[in-house]
C-alpha cells in the first residue's frame, strides 16, 4: 500500500516491527546478562537498563500512535467512499 506522498506503509510497518523485535531481543539479552551475575548488579547497570527500557517504551508508543493514526485515516477514507 503506497500513500499519495509515495510512502510505502507496508515497508514502514515492517521496519517498525523489525526495530521492535531487535530492541526487545537486546533488552532480553541485557536482562539475562544482569541476572546471570549472581544477583550482583551495579547501579549503573540498572540505570542503563531503565534507560533502554524507556527508549523501548517510547518507540512502542510512537509506533502505536502512528499505526492508530493510519487506521483512523483509512477508516475515514472508507466512510467517505460510501
Output the pLDDT for position 61: 93
Check: CB of residue 51 under 8 Å from CB of residue 23.
no
d(CA 50, CA 8): 33
The helix/strand/coil state of 8 is: strand
User: How many other β-carbons are positioned within 10 Å of the β-carbon of residue 27?
Assistant: 15
3-61 tens-digit pLDDT: 455 668 888 888 888 998 899 999 999 888 888 877 677 888 889 889 999 999 999 99
Output the pLDDT for position 51: 93
Q: Which pTM value belongs to this model?
A: 0.71
Of 24, 49, 25, 22, nearest to 35 by C-alpha is 49
The crossing angle, in degrees rounded to 10, of helices 9-35 and 43-81 is 160
Of 19, 32, 23, 25, nearest to 51 by C-alpha is 23
Amino acid at each position: 500500500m503506497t500513500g499519495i506522498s509515495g510512502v510505502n506503509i507496508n515497508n514502514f510497518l515492517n521496519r517498525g516491527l523489525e526495530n521492535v523485535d531487535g530492541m526487545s531481543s537486546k533488552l532480553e539479552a541485557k536482562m539475562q546478562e544482569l541476572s546471570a551475575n549472581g544477583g550482583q548488579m551495579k547501579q549503573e547497570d540498572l540505570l542503563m537498563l531503565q534507560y533502554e527500557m524507556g527508549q523501548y517504551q517510547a518507540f512502542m508508543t510512537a509506533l502505536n500512535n502512528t499505526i492508530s493514526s493510519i487506521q483512523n485515516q483509512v477508516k475515514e477514507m472508507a466512510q467517505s467512499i460510501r
